[in-house]
Structure 1
Amino acid sequence: MPVLQTAIDPASEEFTARRAEYLERISEIDAEHAKAVAAGGPRYVQRHRERGKLLARERIEMLLDPAAPFMELSPLAAWGTDFHVGGSLVTGIGVVEGVECAILAHEPTVKGGTGNPYSVRKFLRLFDIAKENNLPLICLVESGGADLPTQSEIFVPGGRQFRDLTEASASGRPVISLVFGNSTAGGAYVPGMSDYTVMVKEGAKVFLAGPPLVKMATGEVSDDESLGGAEMHARTSGLADYLAVDEMDAIRIGRQIVSRLNWRKAGPEPSLPADPPVHPIQDLPGIVPVDIKQPFDPLEVIGRLVDGSRFDEFKPLYGTSLVTGWASIQGYPVGILANARGILFSEESQKAAQFIQLANQIDVPLVFLQNVTGFMVGKEYEQNGIIKHGAMMINAVSNSRVPHLTINMGASYGAGNYGMCGRAYGPRFLFSWPNSKTAVMGGQQLAGVMSIVARQAAAARGVEFDEAADTALREKIETQIDTESIAPFMSGKVYDDGIIDPRDTRTILGYCLSIVSNQSIEGVKNAFGVFRM
């Protein structure tokens, strides 16, 4: 397979300037991640420790195999809202006793671990990932239930978690709950619907209604321990399968349970040499501009992500605004689609549809490297069939059954977001780079469209167009769109699985390919629906 060459000069002035600007953007994202890691802040962290308890991330660290990776998901959930960054939860994929598991940990130092609307989005996303990739689920429980002031946004969608837990068990994916503290109201159903439940003695409290609510509802006077204590559930109700003496013992028991699951991956193992790229991945911050209007060569990115920088390009002379080809990442074969100049024409759309069909024919996962402004518009392109050709590409993406992994490297605008497998098209994982933006179109373009429409409406009514008001409206729209399209905003809405440093992309893609291999990989054969030719 050909080895990609590079035209990058790390000593050049352009490279140095781009790198410095990009590293500054990475630092800004790191600062936002630090807010999530800080949990509830020094005061609440100290109070939690004084109770002899571990923090959520410490529990996860103790649960994982030594030196095992943990791919945290949606760490910036709720960014830009009144809720704490992180959504009062830590979620991700980690290796326990050699088994890749989906892990959820409540963050009790943030409002007692109570769930808000972004917590719901976050844990439902984790459950979807666990289902799609056939992963066991481990819940590290300490939560006061729902954040009651926002119950109208939580109660209805949040109920899906209980359905998902029971469906996981029914499909043979074990659910394990380790209960460290309160698990009240709806939260009591998490251990109740788990296959295995471990409770910490004198720590876990599991009940549908605590003593105050019981008294209000029935007049009965009770205490925490007799109503829902760990020892009561272990000896009397039978809800607890194991009684742990402390938190570390609960984690030990949890690992022991996983070791006895007799778990095997259903998908393929790496089959190709996993040698590192010839070109250093550390170059990426100097290759990719922060300003998404500036072009860059996706082959320079691919050459720093794939094994040995080897890439067998498919149709290199046709539809050159989209790069397609075959490679491997950490030994796993992949097909790659990467935008070269942002716009998708008819040729690129047809090329993509054929390539996606080929990947399904040979059961190979697809990696989408987005930097797309949309499908081309204009009379010539409409007459040449851009709609039906764009629909062909979107049809192929929609009906493809091999795993899709998406990285937003820059722009992800308009229907190009759909064609390049945005969130609505079900990629197994979707990560964003710090410079990326996602929207219907750029702020300047959208403001211009609104201005043209308003100007035409004024002319149709025969009234004078208010230029000053138009200028003010355009500025307002540009500001709004630019604010709502940036990576932290999209990540805050849980529209991606996290913002990553480009230099971590190869590692993350390799881990994702290992995760998707927990499920058998079988592409769709001759069932893509009708392609409008």
Structure 2
Amino acid sequence: MTYSATRWAPAPGGPAARARAAEGTVLRSRLDTASELYCTNRAAQLANLAQLEEQLEIARAGGGEHYRDRHRRRGRLLVRERVELLLDRDSAFLELSPLAAWGTEFAVGASVVTGIGVVSGVEVVVIGHDPTVRGGTMNPYSLRKTLRALDIARRNRLPVVNLVESGGADLPNQSDLFVQAGKIFHDLSALSADGIPTIALVFGNSTAGGAYVPGMCDHAVLVDRQAKVFLGGPPLVKMATGEESDDEDLGGAAMHARVSGVADYFAVDEPDAIRIGRRILSEINWRKRGPGPSLPADPPVYDADELLGIAPADIRVPFDPREVLARVVDGSRFGEYKPDYGTSLVTGWASIHGFPVGVLANANGVLFSAEAKKGAEFIQLANQVDTPLIFLQNTTGFMVGAAYEQGGIIKDGAKMINAVTNSAVPHLTVNMAASFGAGNYGMSGRAYDPRLMFAWVGAKLAVMGAAQLAGVLSIVGRAAAEAAGRPFDTAADDQRRGEIERQIGEESHAFFLSGKLYDDGVLDPRDTRTVLGIALSAAHSGPIEGRRGYGVFRM
């Protein structure tokens, strides 16, 4: 995950809030920074982060030096330069899904930049096309990334600013685009209906279906001699009607500002368009509906840099999530709930940048019945008091075995999943190390719609670990051979196990999963507090209300 921030902090709480915070328990770290385990973990995470930075550099490079230089020679700004000019000076920008399309035939980043930033004091979602990558055309991953950004805007009640310069759909991939691409226009219309402003700043082509982006937005700004907004360009019009037209007559900024009315504002150049966009946001009289930070946002007692030695090099090695909390939550204060019951799930109350939160964090990875019931109860309590929930994942799933099945692990796991499903307060999820099996569901994985979800750079996610999955298939194969009365080919089985382990290892890698948009970005562990603070502030743009009623709990 990348973000730029030279300052970011909500206003602190007053004297009463400080008094309440003083009652919390300050966590005491037992981390040995000189130990072999700490040093091994730190070295592994630094290596992971170097690989992450390489991939982020590829995403930032867009279409490469040749196409970037050509774009500049045309007198145009690069997409990230447009974003930088748009945002308030020295404010944070939380980039989302920067590794989209990683490992595919498409460019890393998927030819679009999305993120959460502040413009004229208003928190917004920014969606910017990168015209240096195949003219900013949309591929299946840029579609997914755009729809995810619009979903984040809707669920967190954030205005949307579109920085438009796109040739529309990448036509060779139209079969994977056309049907679902209509949802972009659907979502822009739905945002407007919900009273969430949408703005289009059009810097270049916005053609074919892309013409509906400024058409569907509440506010449209077109740049003179650059914006081209039309359903069909001159060649298509010639083929369809025999009419001779040029770009300006068909879809230029001047025509749309003076004749068609598609443009609400006429900009003389790109900086002027960005100035107008900032002015629009300053005039919308926007108000957040959630409460502001109510507790002091004092920094943790312990250094966030030490998280690199806590995040495991080997996900099979457990670690105490309280060591993470001590370096993430305000003042390292944590009021633990049921500390002596269901001890492999740590639950309790804290605050992050002044926003009260409830925390569920996996300890040794396995969820037993006690942990499932404890988690379900805690989620209900958070909903009773309208408090957002932070899920810190490091789970191998719910416990299996005859004794646990007979003890009701299925119905107890169902309680926790019921509670997660029906919880109405914002969920923010971070996969710290492992997220396997139904533990991923119980800890608010992607299928359970957390407002935002991130993964630490070394984290893994799959139905189970690679070795376990390969072993299960081997056992099933051996049993099938015995049932059929045929000899079991051990050599072939060993080869299959190796191939499956490699496949699952690759598919559970953080870059692979983020490339498929199964999270909203890969995170440097040291950035966890800042990223969660930005995410919490964004979530509080909408009302924060818990659910009072739940579905049937299987007892």
Q: Which one of the candidate residues 510, 518, 528 is aligned to 2:550?
A: 528
Output the CA distance in 2 between the equivalents of 1:493 and 1:55.
Answer: 25
1:11 deviation in Å? 2.9
Amino acid at match of 1:292: I
Look up the equivalent residue of 1:28 and give its one-letter code: Q
Instruction: Report the equivalent of 1:355.
Output: 378
User: Residues of 1 paired with 2:44 and 2:398: CA distance?
Assistant: 30
Deviation, 1:494, is 0.5
Q: Deviations over 1:110-155 (max 9, x none)?
A: 0000000000110000011000000111100000000000000011
Q: Which residue identity does 2:552 align to in structure 1?
A: V
Counterpart code for 2:290: G
**Alignment correspondent of 1:54:** 77
Match of 1:157 among 169, 177, 180: 180
Percent sequence identity over matched residues? 65
Q: Alpha-carbon deviations, 1:25-84, whole Å to 9, x = none? A: 111111111110011100000000000100101001000011011110000000000000
Once residues 240 and 119 of structure 1 are traced to their aligned partners in structure 2, the CA distance between those partners, rounded to angstroms, is 25
Map Cα deviations across residues 195-242 of structure 1 (whole Å, 9 max, x no partner): 110000001001001111111111111111111111111111111111
The alpha-carbon deviation at position 12 of structure 1 amounts to: 3.1
Unaligned ranges ≥5, structure 1: none
Q: 2:216 is matched by which residue type in structure 1? A: M
User: Once the two structures are superposed, what CA deviation does each residue of 1:441-474 show, in whole Å capped at 9, x if it has no partner?
Assistant: 0111111111111111111111111111111111
SS in 1 for 2:185: helix
Q: Is the 8 A contact 2:40 2:313 kept in 1?
A: no
After TM superposition, the structure 1 = structure 2 runs for residues 371-382 of structure 1, keeping only pairs within 5 Å, are: 371-382=394-405
Match of 2:325 among 260, 281, 302: 302
- Deviation digits for residues 412-463 of structure 1, max 9, x if unmatched? 0000000000000000000000110110001111111111111111111111
Q: Which runs of 5+ in 2 are unaligned?
A: 1-23
Alignment equivalent of 1:98, drawn from 113, 121, 125: 121
Matches within 5 A, 1:228-247: 228-247=251-270
Aligned partner of 2:420 among 387, 397, 404: 397
Matched, 1:7 2:30: yes
Q: CA deviation at 1:290?
A: 2.0
User: What corresponds to 1:124 in structure 2?
Assistant: 147
1:490-510 residue CA offsets vs partner (Å, 9 max, x unmatched): 000001000010000000101
Q: In the alignment, which residue of structure 1 is the partner of 2:11? A: none
String of CA shifts for 1:139-184, please: whole Å, max 9, x gaps: 0000000000000001111110000011111111111000000000
Pick aligned residue for 2:298 from 275, 280, 292: 275
1:251 correspondence with 2:283: no
**TM-score scaled by length of structure 2:** 0.95
Report deviation, 1:289.
1.3
State the 1:20 CA deviation.
Answer: 1.7
Larger deviation, residues 250-259 vs 16-25:
16-25
Two-structure CA RMSD over aligned residues (Å): 0.7
Matched, 1:68 2:91: yes
In 2, Cα distance between equivalents of 1:54 and 1:353: 50
Structural mapping, 1:77-92, within 5 Å: 77-92=100-115
CA distance in 1, matches of 2:296, 2:209: 48
Q: Deviations over 1:235-264 (max 9, x none)?
A: 111111111000000000000000000000
In structure 2, what residue type is equivalent to 1:320? T
**CA–CA distance in 1 between the matches of 2:413 and 2:37?**
35
The match for 1:22 among 26, 41, 45 is 45
Task: List aligned pairs for 1:184-263, cutoff 5 A.
Answer: 184-263=207-286
Q: Distance in 2 between matches of 1:194 and 1:427?
A: 26
Partner of residue 539 from structure 2, selected from 506, 516, 522:
516
Distance in structure 1 (CA, Å) of the matches to 2:482 and 2:212: 62
Which of 364, 367, 373 is 1:344 aligned to? Answer: 367
* 2:134 maps to 1:107: no
1:323-472 paired onto structure 2 within 5 Å:
323-472=346-495
Structure 2: distance between partners of 1:383 and 1:8? 38
User: 3-state DSSP class of the match of 1:243?
Assistant: strand
Query: CA separation in 1, counterparts of 2:210 and 2:184?
Result: 10
Give the residue type in structure 2 aligned to 1:148.
L
Q: 2:515 aligns with which of 459, 472, 492?
A: 492
Query: Secondary structure, in 3 states, of the residue corresponding to 1:159?
Result: helix
Q: Which amino acid aligns with 1:471?
A: D
Distance 1:50 1:105 in 2: 20
- How far apart are 1:21 and its partner, in Å? 1.8
Question: Which residue pairs with 2:3 in the alignment?
Answer: none
Matched residues in 1 for 2:34 and 2:493: separation?
46
> In structure 2, what is the equivalent of residue 482 of structure 1?
505
2:196 matched residue in structure 1: 173
Residue identity opposite 1:334 in structure 2: V
Aligned to 1:148: 171
SS at match of 2:522: coil
Match of 2:21 in 1: none
1:38 aligned partner, one-letter code:
A
